[in-house]
Every structure is written in C-alpha cells, then in structure tokens.
Amino acid sequence: MIGLEELYSTLEKGTGYPVANIACAQRESVPFIVIMTEGSVNLIADNKVYKKFEDVEVELYTDKRDLEAEGSVEKILDNLSIPYQSNAYFIAEEDLLKTTYSITIKGDK
C-alpha cells in the first residue's frame, strides 16, 4: 500500500499537474491537484495501533469538466490498486470544477 509522500510524487509525475498539500498559497493554473488528509483510520489490536491508515481526499481542480484530467488521476489510482469514490461539483465563487477522490492509504506517521 502506498504512503502519502509516494502519492504526491506519483500524482505529480504521472499527471504533470502541480500537486499541493492542504491549500495552495497562490492559485495555480488549472488543472492542479490538492491533497487533503482527513484523519486516521488505524487498525488497533491489544491496546496499540497495529497498522496506520489515513483517509485522504485527492482534489482535482479544472475550469470545466475535463475527462482527460480525470482519467489521468483515475488511471494512477487504478494502477496503484487504490480504490476510490469520486464526486464533482462546481465552485461558483472560484469559477472552478472540483473533482474529489476519497481514498485510504498507508499512514506515514
């Protein structure tokens, strides 16, 4: 299973899009990706954390529906054998479409 650092580099190299953690200091030109960690879902046994996992949102931002960009992200997740759920919605005040991929990965901490 892949960790957070490997996810960043694989998405950046595989898509060619800028990848940021949590939020961009300045607005990137689209498409770009933001990775948000949502919290842990650890496996606990014998009062210890046995295996660490993180819930992560991979957010793809585009100016319109971009099936090629979505396909690039989905192909990488598929190749890494990472199951995902996706959701897309338009952010009117930013004039951007955000497609979110909800995944669980290995915890790096």
Beta strands in 1-109 (DSSP E): 19-21, 32-40, 43-45, 48-51, 53-62, 85-91, 96-106
Specify the pLDDT at position 77. Answer: 97
Instruction: Write down all domains in the chain, each with its CATH number in brackets.
Output: 4-106 (3.30.2000.30)
Cα torsion angle, 79, 81, 87, 89, sign: negative
Q: What is the pTM of this model?
A: 0.88
DSSP state of 24: -
CB 94 within 8 A of CB 43: no
Which residues, given as ranges, of the chain have pLDDT below 70?
Answer: 22-28, 108-109
Specify the pLDDT at position 108. Answer: 67
Specify the pLDDT at position 39. Answer: 82
Query: Tokens 């955000």 label which residue?
Result: 98
Helix (H, G, I), strand (E, B) or coil at 101: strand
What lies within 8 Å, CB to CB, of 10 at 6+ separation is 2, 76, 80
What is the DSSP pairing of strand 32-40 with strand 19-21?
A: parallel
Specify the pLDDT at position 100. Answer: 98
Specify the pLDDT at position 16. Answer: 95
